């Protein structure tokens, strides 16, 4: 009996008191794994637990699973579970269902809670506003340490994280934060405004989630406040939200570099896979035709020196590999915010030098091999020069293409690989066959 099966049997046979004890020990993710393993028992397993714990399980579920699990319960209990869910996870779930169902759920919520969720839904899902939670601990600067401690005993358990206490004025404008240590070590009658830190790093609600993740990685924050243009505090983003963003962004970039739709699932249908992959395969077909057309310009040369056809894939293949190396480095730099106006020239200089040195080393090797293969030093010179030039082009295109696409507002991970490969294929064939045509007299 495996772990999931044993846990399933324990839950189904447990009494109410045993279930309550189990919620103290069992992480919601562990129960979620059981639910995924035994789909036919999902309702029987979940209904053994209190609504608060069910909400935690749904919070941990994948986006497509959330509403499926919630739908197992009758309308009244459904609303109770919703009231216990994290605001950011609830907004994500509602944004993933049809408008009629979304409206019915919102209508059944308390007015204050509904307004919070509607505000979250108004933000783009990939912005700071779209991933923030509205459960945070806020106090007024005129409160004393003693008043704050009493307040925290009541409110902190329902907050997204109690590690940071945010000080707001009467208009909810963020004034500062109070470290927990200051609360624990200050005298009871000290005012918060006297111990708060005023220089608080904030995140605009409109900031892209990828830029938000870069800030978290740079400074190592556990949580950050999200504000509007007037510095009114709207919510917080925690490090666990950022871990999810990083995972999603990594998956998206990896899929796009391969010409796949990031929504494609490994166990999806054949039709979904075709819709995801065929468009980019057609784009690749067009670029391949362009490369073939370049080769066709030199049919006469190839017919006279057949060995050229043997070495053509070597030049273009190595150029494509080198271009992908530079491209991957630049796309990562863009994603992490490591490339800016000040260091672009230095990075270009480095990549150009790498391309030149790679081209010189590989060009010399293939020149020697080609010369020995054909017993003709000129043939070796032709392929060596073509290799050198294509390696330089690979480095330059791997640098410029993603930056140009980024400037045009196009995701570099989505289209860069196609253009870089096209550049190295077309120019690789052109350099090799063009130079061979010029030196044809010495190759015969």
Residue 168 shares a structural domain with residue 112: no
Residue 207 shares a structural domain with residue 338: no
Residue 295 shares a structural domain with residue 429: yes
Burial class (CB in 10 A: 0-12, 13-18, 19+), 322: buried
pTM (2 decimals)?
0.64
Of the three residues 239, 260, 283, the one that is the final residue of a domain is 239
Residue 404 shares a structural domain with residue 274: yes
Does 262 map to a domain?
no
Residue 118 shares a structural domain with residue 172: no
- pLDDT of 396 reads 94
Residue 144 shares a structural domain with residue 277: no
Residue 285 shares a structural domain with residue 422: yes
- pLDDT of 364 reads 94
Q: Round to whole Å and give the CA distance between 42 and 139.
A: 41
With a CB cutoff of 8 Å and minimum separation 6, the contacts of 102 are 94, 95
Q: What is the pLDDT of residues 178-225, one digit of tens each?
A: 888 888 888 989 888 888 888 888 999 999 888 888 888 777 788 899
Q: What is the pLDDT of residues 246-271, one digit of tens each?
A: 777 666 666 666 655 556 566 667 77
CATH number of the structural domain spanning residue 46: 1.25.60.10
CATH number of the structural domain spanning residue 162: 3.10.580.10
Residue 227 shares a structural domain with residue 102: no
- pLDDT of 257 reads 61
Helix (H) or strand (E) holding 365: helix 344-374
- pLDDT of 260 reads 59
Q: For every one of its 444 residues, what pLDDT tens digit does the chain have, with 9 covering 90 and above? A: 677 888 888 888 888 888 888 888 888 998 888 888 888 888 888 989 999 999 999 998 988 899 999 999 998 899 999 988 988 889 989 988 888 889 988 888 888 888 888 888 889 888 999 999 888 888 888 889 898 888 887 765 555 555 678 999 888 999 999 888 888 888 989 888 888 888 888 999 999 888 888 888 777 788 899 999 999 999 999 888 888 877 776 666 666 666 555 565 666 677 777 776 777 778 778 888 888 888 888 988 888 888 888 888 889 889 988 998 998 888 888 877 778 777 888 999 999 999 999 999 999 999 999 999 888 999 999 999 999 999 999 999 999 999 998 888 877 876 788 888 889 999 999 999 999 999 888 887
Could you list the residue range(s) of the whole structural domain that residue 225 is in?
A: 138-239
Residue 50 shares a structural domain with residue 104: yes
- pLDDT of 407 reads 85
- pLDDT of 390 reads 94
């Amino acid at each position: 009996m495996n772990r999931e099966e044993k846990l399933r049997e324990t839950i189904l046979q447990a009494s109410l008191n045993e279930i309550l004890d189990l919620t103290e020990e069992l992480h919601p993710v562990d129960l979620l794994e059981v639910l995924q393993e035994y789909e036919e028992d999902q309702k029987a397993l979940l209904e053994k637990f209190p609504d608060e714990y069910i909400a935690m399980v749904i919070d941990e579920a994948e986006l497509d699973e959330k509403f499926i699990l919630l739908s197992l319960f009758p309308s009244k209990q459904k609303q109770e579970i919703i009231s216990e869910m994290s605001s950011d996870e609830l907004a994500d779930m509602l944004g993933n269902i049809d408008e009629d169902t979304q409206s019915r759920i919102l209508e059944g919520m308390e007015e204050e809670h509904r307004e919070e969720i509607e505000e979250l839904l108004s933000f783009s899902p990939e912005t700071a506003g779209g991933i923030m939670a509205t459960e945070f601990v806020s106090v007024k600067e005129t409160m004393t340490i003693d008043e704050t401690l009493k307040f925290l005993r009541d409110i902190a358990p329902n907050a997204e994280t109690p590690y940071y206490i945010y000080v707001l004025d009467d208009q909810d404008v963020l004034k500062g934060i109070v470290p927990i240590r200051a609360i624990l070590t200050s005298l009871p009658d000290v005012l918060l405004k006297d111990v708060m830190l005023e220089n608080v790093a904030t995140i605009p609600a409109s900031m892209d989630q990828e830029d938000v993740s870069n800030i978290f990685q740079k400074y190592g924050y556990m949580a950050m406040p999200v504000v509007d243009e007037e510095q009114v505090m709207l919510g917080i983003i925690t490090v666990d939200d950022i871990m999810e963003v990083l995972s999603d962004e990594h998956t998206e970039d990896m899929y796009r570099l391969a010409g796949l739709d990031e929504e494609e699932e490994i166990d999806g249908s054949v039709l979904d896979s075709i819709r995801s992959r065929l468009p980019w395969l057609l784009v690749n077909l067009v670029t391949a035709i362009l490369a073939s057309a370049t080769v066709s310009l030199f049919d006469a040369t190839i017919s006279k020196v057949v060995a050229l056809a043997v070495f053509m894939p070597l030049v273009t293949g190595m150029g494509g590999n080198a271009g992908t190396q530079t491209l991957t480095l630049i796309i990562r730099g863009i994603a992490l915010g490591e490339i800016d106006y000040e260091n672009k020239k230095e990075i270009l200089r480095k990549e150009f030098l790498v391309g030149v040195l790679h081209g010189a080393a590989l060009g010399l090797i293939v020149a020697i091999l080609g010369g020995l293969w054909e017993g003709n030093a000129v043939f070796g010179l032709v392929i060596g020069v073509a290799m050198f030039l294509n390696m330089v082009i690979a480095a330059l295109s791997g640098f410029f293409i993603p930056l140009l696409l980024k400037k045009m507002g196009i995701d570099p991970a989505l289209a860069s690989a196609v253009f870089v490969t096209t550049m190295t294929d077309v120019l690789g064939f052109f350099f090799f066959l063009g130079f061979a045509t010029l030196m044809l007299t010495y190759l015969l």
